[in-house]
Amino acid sequence: MGRNAGEVNLVAAVSFTLGGSLFALGALFAQLDLVPLTTINVTYLVGGFFFSLGGYTSILLAEATGGRHARLSAIVLFTGTLLFAVSLVAAFAQGLTPRQSDGWIWLPDILGCVCFLASGHLAMLDVGDGHVVVRPHEAGWWVVAVNQLGSVLFFLAGLAAFTRPATDQVVDAGLVNWGTFAGAACFAVAGVVQAFDTPTPTRTAVQQT
């Protein structure tokens, strides 16, 4: 790879921290109605770029230091960020019907959330040597556990974002925004912890994310 695993880990950690922070900011903007919708969408889109960068560098890190579960977790995670990207770009379209909105925005978003959940489970297996365990004394475990919590919150927010065709309204706008905010905050915090964790040839600090 030509790069030190520690450097790649730092790039991934910073990317997730920035991505999570921007997603949290976008959700806060949306909930408090502080800025125009275009600004919110741009904030999310830039955050999505950093999530994808973090996902890609996670694959590089897993290839260098991780086991089978770590590599698969990173690949599924990166796939999830690409699905998010489709949703984030589609959000700029105007005049969509509820059915079109659900097809182009909600569907890739919820599929991305499912990928994040699956990636998180695989990451839990990786840090637990094939089992889901609790290891609060290990920084790497905290990275994975906090990210998995963020994935659960993203999934709940994703479910609430479904647009009802009859009303042209999402199921629960408050859950969409606050769920996204809390989930994104989890990724940002885990990114900071990951930055101070040292990957080894047998274990990678990379999440799931």
Q: What would the pLDDT profile of 33-63 be if each residue is shown by its tens digit?
A: 989 999 999 999 999 999 999 999 999 998 8
End-to-end CA distance of the chain: 22
pLDDT band at 208 (very low <50, low <70, confident <90, very high): very low
Token pair for residue 195?
């930055």
Mention every residue, 6+ apart, whose C-beta is less than 8 A from residue 202.
Answer: 65, 67
- Pairwise CA distance, residues 190 & 174, whole Å: 24
Query: 163 to each of 38, 130, 180, how far by Cα in Å?
Result: 19, 39, 16
Handedness of CA 14, 15, 18, 20 (dihedral sign): negative
pLDDT recorded at residue 67: 67
Give per-residue burial for 181-201: e unless 16+ CB within 10 Å, then b.
Answer: bbbbbbbbbbbbbbbebebee
pTM of the model as a whole = 0.88
Q: Is 95 left (phi over 0), alpha (psi -120 to 50) or beta?
A: left
Per-residue pLDDT, averaged over 62-90, amounts to 90
- Per residue in 120-156, pLDDT (tens digit) is 999 999 888 777 888 888 888 999 999 999 999 999 9
pLDDT higher than 80, residue 203: no
Q: Look at the block and give the residue holding tokens 């996902």.
A: 55
Share of the chain above pLDDT 90, in %: 74
pLDDT over 50 (residue 209): no
- Beta-bridge mates of residue 163: 170
pLDDT on residue 66: 64
Q: Structure tokens of 1? A: 């790879």
**pLDDT score at 1:** 41
Q: Which range has the worst mean pLDDT, 27-36, 52-61, 74-83, 200-209? A: 200-209
Q: Is 138 exposed, middle or buried (0-12, 13-18, 19+ CB in 10 A)?
A: middle
Mean of per-residue pLDDT scores for the chain: 90
